[in-house]
Structure 1
Amino acid sequence: MVSKIVFTKYLTLHNSHFPVCTFHCSSIWDSINRSSTSYNSLCNRRDAASALSSSFCGSILVDLSRRGLHSVPQLVYKGPEENVAEDPTPRADDHVITVPVHLKNRLERKMIKESTRGHQRMKIVEKSRAGNSSKAIINCKLPIFNYYLGQSYARGEEIPLASKNWHHRKAAGDWFRIKPVVKPAAFGFSTTVKDTTFEDLGIKAEIVTRLHDNKALKPTLVQELAIPQIMKGSHNLITAETGCGKTLAYMIPLIQQILVEKKRRLRRGANQPLAIILVPSHELASQIFYVATKLSYGLGVNVKLLQHGNLGSKIATPASDVIDLLISTIHVVSTLKSAGVYGINKVHHVVLDEADTLLDDSFSPDVINFLRSFNFYPGQHHVTQLSLVSATLPKTVESTVAELVPEESMNRISTPNIHCVMSHVPQNFLRLRKSQKPEKLLEIVKIDLETENPLIIFCNTTKTCDWLRIMLTDNNIPCIAVHGETRPMHRKGLMDKYQNGNVNIMICTDLGSRGINTIRTRHVLNYDFPMFTADYIHRCGRTGRVGSTGKCKVTNFIARRFEFQVVQEIERSVRQDVSLSKVDANIKRLLNARYGMHKPITGNDDDEDDDE
């Protein structure tokens, strides 16, 4: 072992004196001991100076740099006539190493430079992650949780959520607001530099005239993408944001296909449609019938709406009509088809509107059995075209229809921002106690009455719908309640009242959230927050639709435990600028997993925590 290394007086390099520095540094002594033999032999040689300058000093600097020794405990300059032994400061346990001054200075300059660059780089990164503080996307009661345009988070960093502690009772009164930023691309009217028209998409002049008469002057993005593909006759899976014109996206080419088929003058009997549109609810069927009737007016296309009720008389005394387009719910059309009232051997196109609901476990068995009556495999005789349309796309859709439609023949059409929170409608999230909800509702409803804003109030159960209707009526506020226990014909009359403007406040369950075109609605209020993000997307889609006028907004009451988790998923998706999770889930299956097949949903298990 070498106890000490001393380079006395000076080093002679190329017949010149070279000043050296003496380092008193014990922290690197271990590395020197590992090569003690070579250093001893090096010190005993007459040419130690030149050997050291070429090898040893370089290795010492490298070792210093690797160990992070950017500074030394003690630095003493030794001139050419001074001796290390004459230094008054060294101690017995110090290990003295001398290196050239210029090498030390170069190392220090390098360290300072790298340190400065890293600091500047970190400041730039932190500034960029902070975003634009003048443009807030999420405003919170506590400004520390505000989220700004352009703000981002480091990988692995915990996302700060304003709703993180909302399960606590003391969080009552907290709130945050998602502000509108930009209108989604799906609501735009072209993806190309040149504005696309319906004529450019190959639509006949008579249909374009009907579109212009109904104030549809240019195709939206989903229409621009879907119409050419449907016209080709391929199977299509169409997904787009709520309220961006999906109905016309398939209705326009469907009407044109029917006109082409009718010109062929094929023999058809009564009650043999050329196309069928299946929907999950009678209200949506009535709405689509209205759109199809307006679009086909004067074109010679016969549209038939099958309403629920009196199925016995429809089977006993069926009407004999020439039908081109049949619109119905799955239960009615499958019943009448099984009874032989309607024939499907001439059907060329089947459309499933709100396909995510129709292929959910609630409807899927009936829908699949009905679709088995058609041939969807290309290359065979009389191939039927299939179009699936929805605002949300469950992962189970393609696997569900895989036995009927070959996967390679399914053409997928989607717009940006599907499964994302609406970016053009402000959304308020209010943390309330359950006892505070009725009072807050009255406060908001009275403001909307004064400003004449049409309002839809969503609840999770029919009992809550009826209770709110009674409460608002007792406060002299006119309103209607629509839910699954209302008779279909009475329900249609109530919906017409709201759509026509006779009543400005409608209370409903998720029955009114799927596909209903409520362009006059300016305010959606979730009195009961939805249990799943898919329902939240559909509920919010009742406002801010294509053709809507005035300022639209969404208000959410948050009071129960299961609601906190959904709110946190929504807030996290906005802060990370990603799509919502679990939108593609099977709703009925999730309900069964959470509550059991027959277990009712009660409020006892959903209260906020009692922790103080």
Structure 2
Amino acid sequence: MPEPEEASTSSTNVTFKSLGLIDPLLEALDQMKFKAPTDIQAEALPHALQGRDIIGVASTGSGKTAAFALPILQKLWEEPKGLFACVISPTRELAYQISQQFEALGSAMGVRCVVIVGGMDIMSQKVALAKKPHIVVATPGRLNDHLENTKGFSLRTLKFLVLDEADKLLDLDLGPVIDKILKVIPKERTTYLFSATMTTKVAKLQRASLSNPVRVEVSSKYSTVSTLLQYYLFIPMVKKDVNLVYLANSLASNSIIIFTRTVHDAQRLSIILRTLGFPAVPLHGQLSQSARLGALAKFKSGGRKILVATDVASRGLDLPSVDAVINYDVPTSSKDYIHRVGRTARAGRSGKSITIVTQYDVELMQRVEAVIGKKMELWPTDEEEVTLLRERVDEASRLAVNELKDQSKAGSGRKRRRDGAPAADDVDRDDDMVEAGMPTKRKKNRS
């Protein structure tokens, strides 16, 4: 197979109109306050509007969704027939966000979108699919489930396939499920593959699914943005909780995402913060889908100033008002660090990140600094103030441990049938954790 052709469009003084978009889309872009194309949009749209397959390599927050949604909607305006496009996403939250952007951009066209993800009622999804939507946005597991088990549903009329965050899809070992889906969709189609990085797995998927693609790459160096101020806090392991509360107190007027490595810590820290009067809400793979969407809505609206999340929130989500990111744990992967801190300082705005480093994290921290090509600054702390907080934080920690024990007992009582098998919503939750990169109970992981 020939190597993908490199795109060479110059994005200087490019407008959405000059790219050849139709009036209904230009009106929607104007209403959404999209003033000018981002680099990835300016590079990808001319080739996409000519009908070419696209490989898009761009970092988080670069405007990838509009880069693939606009050409799909333009073609749909010309040929409004049946199920038109399928977008495959690695996480549920990203799937909902993609659907919302399709509906906003296609508002003048009356575009119909359906989100098909795990953790939601499968019968209502079957009803929605029977109404012949134009766009299906799905996570791979639940899409494959419908393809195998929902009578009358197929992707035989599909004109467009989009694989979004392809590197994340393949990191979650969803390759075999995607292979199954590729076997039951038309060979004659347009395919867009978007990824933050081009790994060997992504290159293999590209060869299997794209035909004579154009490769569009912006910000090829994997890095953080210049408007982000990056700090670290070096403390003993036993002082992590009290220093986190100190940071939350210091940044009290800011909207903050606190990232943790485990579901347990996300839940525990959100309880500690709420006990101490901070407006915190958790987001992780073991929450029900409605709870997850509710947490995001509260954070986006400003009803909650602090979101305590696992890496389920590190990719793709558009949270425009995040002032600061705190890494309670140093991520084991430098890529994960870049995705996490990419939740702030978006679209040219400034932001700050603070990473809590203990004696066990020094090597991980050095790796992160090597990848981003800069040394982080030490965040100034008032030791006396930290000491004064210690007693209250210890008491809140004890309350959190007891509350989690009570929740665990109540949950295990509700969620087991008499035969000892997991209840249906347990299986759904495990399905979701696979989609979101979370360890499941079946793997006996302490997280």
Q: What's the TM-score once normalised by structure 1's chain length?
A: 0.58
Report the alpha carbon displacement of residue 310 of structure 1 after superposing the two structures with TM: 5.5
Q: Deviations over 1:583-611 (max 9, x none)?
A: xxxxx9xx9xxxxx968579xxxxxxxxx
More helix by share: 2
Query: What is the aligned partner in structure 2 of residue 280 from structure 1?
Result: 90
Cα contact 1:240–1:415 (8 A) shared by 2: yes
Report the alpha carbon displacement of residue 341 of structure 1 after superposing the two structures with TM: 4.2
Query: What is the aligned partner in structure 1 of residue 41 from structure 2?
Result: 223
Report the alpha carbon displacement of residue 361 of structure 1 after superposing the two structures with TM: 4.6
Cα contact 2:255–2:323 (8 A) shared by 1: yes
Report the alpha carbon displacement of residue 463 of structure 1 after superposing the two structures with TM: 0.8
Are 2:294 and 1:483 aligned?
no
3-state SS in 2 of match to 1:287? helix
Any unmatched runs of 5+ in structure 2?
1-8, 376-433
CA distance in 1, matches of 2:326, 2:120: 36
Query: What is the aligned partner in structure 2 of residue 344 from structure 1?
Result: 155
Query: What is the aligned partner in structure 2 of residue 446 from structure 1?
Result: 249
Q: Deviations over 1:533-580 (max 9, x none)?
A: 12111111111112x75x41111111253x333322232244489xxx
Query: What is the aligned partner in structure 2 of residue 325 from structure 1?
Result: 135
Query: What is the aligned partner in structure 2 of residue 557 from structure 1?
Result: 356
Query: What is the aligned partner in structure 2 of residue 121 from structure 1?
Result: none
Report the alpha carbon displacement of residue 527 of structure 1 after superposing the two structures with TM: 0.4
Percent of pairs with identical residues:
25
Report the alpha carbon displacement of residue 455 of structure 1 after superposing the two structures with TM: 0.3
How many residues in Structure 1 have an aligned counterpart in Structure 2?
374
CA distance in 1, matches of 2:111, 2:121: 25
Task: Show the 5 A alignment for 1:544-583.
Answer: 544-546=345-347, 551-559=350-358, 561=360, 563-575=361-373
Task: Show the 5 A alignment for 1:113-192.
Answer: 191-192=10-11
Query: What is the aligned partner in structure 2 of residue 514 from structure 1?
Result: 315
Query: What is the aligned partner in structure 2 of residue 430 from structure 1?
Result: 233
Query: What is the aligned partner in structure 2 of residue 241 from structure 1?
Result: 59
Cα contact 1:458–1:507 (8 A) shared by 2: yes
Report the alpha carbon displacement of residue 205 of structure 1 after superposing the two structures with TM: 1.6
Report the alpha carbon displacement of residue 297 of structure 1 after superposing the two structures with TM: 0.8
The alpha-carbon distance between structure 1 residues 429 and 341, as it changes in their structure 2 partners (threshold 3 A), is farther
Cα contact 1:198–1:218 (8 A) shared by 2: yes
Query: What is the aligned partner in structure 2 of residue 164 from structure 1?
Result: none
Q: Deviations over 1:63-84 (max 9, x none)?
A: xxxxxxxxxxxxxxxxxxxxxx
3-state SS in 1 of match to 2:251? helix
Cα contact 2:165–2:196 (8 A) shared by 1: yes
Task: Show the 5 A alignment for 1:197-276.
Answer: 197-262=15-80, 268=82, 273-276=83-86
Moved over 3 A (4+): 190-193, 307-312, 314-319, 403-406, 573-577, 597-602
The alpha-carbon distance between structure 1 residues 278 and 317, as it changes in their structure 2 partners (threshold 3 A), is closer
Q: Aligned partner of 2:207: which letter?
A: A
Report the alpha carbon displacement of residue 253 of structure 1 after superposing the two structures with TM: 1.2
The alpha-carbon distance between structure 1 residues 574 and 290, as it changes in their structure 2 partners (threshold 3 A), is closer
Q: Aligned partner of 1:345: which letter?
A: R
3-state SS in 2 of match to 1:524? strand
Q: Deviations over 1:470-514 (max 9, x none)?
A: 211221112111111111111111111111111010001000111
Cα contact 1:276–1:351 (8 A) shared by 2: yes
Report the alpha carbon displacement of residue 226 of structure 1 after superposing the two structures with TM: 0.8
Report the alpha carbon displacement of residue 320 of structure 1 after superposing the two structures with TM: 2.8
Report the alpha carbon displacement of residue 314 of structure 1 after superposing the two structures with TM: 4.4
Q: What's the TM-score once normalised by structure 2's chain length?
A: 0.78
Report the alpha carbon displacement of residue 315 of structure 1 after superposing the two structures with TM: 7.7
The alpha-carbon distance between structure 1 residues 251 and 317, as it changes in their structure 2 partners (threshold 3 A), is closer
CA distance in 2, matches of 1:365, 1:560: 40
Out of 399, 411, 414, the position equivalent to 2:214 is 411
CA distance in 1, matches of 2:58, 2:125: 38
Report the alpha carbon displacement of residue 375 of structure 1 after superposing the two structures with TM: 4.0
Q: Aligned partner of 2:175: which letter?
A: S
3-state SS in 2 of match to 1:419? coil
Task: Show the 5 A alignment for 1:33-44.
Answer: none
Query: What is the aligned partner in structure 1 of residue 339 from structure 2?
Result: 538
Q: Deviations over 1:405-426 (max 9, x none)?
A: 45xx132111124412333211
Report the alpha carbon displacement of residue 318 of structure 1 after superposing the two structures with TM: 6.6
Q: Aligned partner of 2:232: which letter?
A: F
Cα contact 1:191–1:221 (8 A) shared by 2: no
Out of 443, 453, 473, the position equivalent to 2:274 is 473
CA distance in 2, matches of 1:414, 1:299: 30
CA distance in 1, matches of 2:213, 2:262: 37
CA distance in 2, matches of 1:258, 1:490: 34
CA distance in 1, matches of 2:192, 2:362: 36
Mean Cα deviation higher: 384-393 or 298-307: 298-307
The alpha-carbon distance between structure 1 residues 560 and 513, as it changes in their structure 2 partners (threshold 3 A), is farther
CA distance in 1, matches of 2:185, 2:77: 21
Report the alpha carbon displacement of residue 444 of structure 1 after superposing the two structures with TM: 1.3
Cα contact 2:224–2:342 (8 A) shared by 1: no
Cα contact 1:391–1:418 (8 A) shared by 2: no
Query: What is the aligned partner in structure 2 of residue 298 from structure 1?
Result: 108
Out of 177, 193, 196, the position equivalent to 1:391 is 196
Task: Determine which structure has more spread, i.e. the larger CA radius of gyration.
Answer: 1
Q: Deviations over 1:160-180 (max 9, x none)?
A: xxxxxxxxxxxxxxxxxxxxx
The alpha-carbon distance between structure 1 residues 526 and 403, as it changes in their structure 2 partners (threshold 3 A), is same
Report the alpha carbon displacement of residue 520 of structure 1 after superposing the two structures with TM: 0.9
CA distance in 2, matches of 1:357, 1:601: 23
The alpha-carbon distance between structure 1 residues 386 and 560, as it changes in their structure 2 partners (threshold 3 A), is farther
CA distance in 1, matches of 2:337, 2:294: 26
Cα contact 1:459–1:527 (8 A) shared by 2: yes
RMSD between aligned residues? 2.5
Cα contact 1:259–1:301 (8 A) shared by 2: no
CA distance in 1, matches of 2:180, 2:165: 18
Q: Aligned partner of 2:242: which letter?
A: E
Q: Aligned partner of 1:384: which letter?
A: R
